[in-house]
Amino acid sequence: MPPHPPRRNLPDRSHSGSHFHIRISVASWEPALAKITRERADALYVHLIMSPYRARILDFTTRNRLPTFVSARLWAESGALLTYGPSQPDIFRRVTTYVDRVLRGAKPGELPIEQPTKFELVINLNELTT
């Protein structure tokens, strides 16, 4: 069984209750934001790979009153409505056991791969009231 479910392409529809999926790069930034506005998105899910652009994305979503969902707590602290994902402090604590094992002579390729076991749900109450 693969570690992640296979990706599905979501249909590009603009009527209520549907989903549309936009893949953007820095070069196509402005057209993507224009499409989100034009299609009247109800919410925006942001992949963590976009973290370097957090301030710009949250400025856009705040101006357009667009609820934003991400998987890292830092985004909620910066203005996203909701985050749900693995606990970063827990992951960092667990990494230290791997470092310790490698420093004691274990071969990194022989160490088991662990999945996160602790998750955090953060709801930004300040954003709920605005």
In a domain, 31, yes or no: no
What percent of the chain is helix, strand and coil (3-state, nearest 5)? 45, 10, 45
For residue range 95-121, what is the model confidence (pLDDT) as tens digits?
999 899 999 999 999 999 889 999 999
- 7, part of any domain: no
Is 108 part of a structural domain of the chain?
yes
Higher pLDDT pick, 79 / 100 = 100
pLDDT at 101: 94
DSSP 52: G
pTM, two decimal places: 0.65
How far, in Å, CA of 118 to CA of 86, rounded? 6
Report if residue 9 sits inside a domain.
Answer: no
Amino acid 26: pLDDT = 63
Domain that holds residue 70: 42-129
Given pLDDT bands bounded at 50, 70 and 90, which one contains residue 3?
A: very low
pLDDT tens track for 11-62:
444 444 556 666 666 667 778 888 888 888 888 888 887 888 888 888 998 8
Q: What count of other Cβ atoms lies within 10 Å of the Cβ of residue 44? A: 19
- Strand, helix or coil for residue 45: strand
* 71 located within any domain: yes
Between CA 69 and CA 75 the distance in angstroms is 8
Does the residue 64 lie in any domain? yes
Q: What domain count does the chain have? A: 1
Q: How many Å apart are CA 115 and CA 106, to the nearest integer?
A: 20
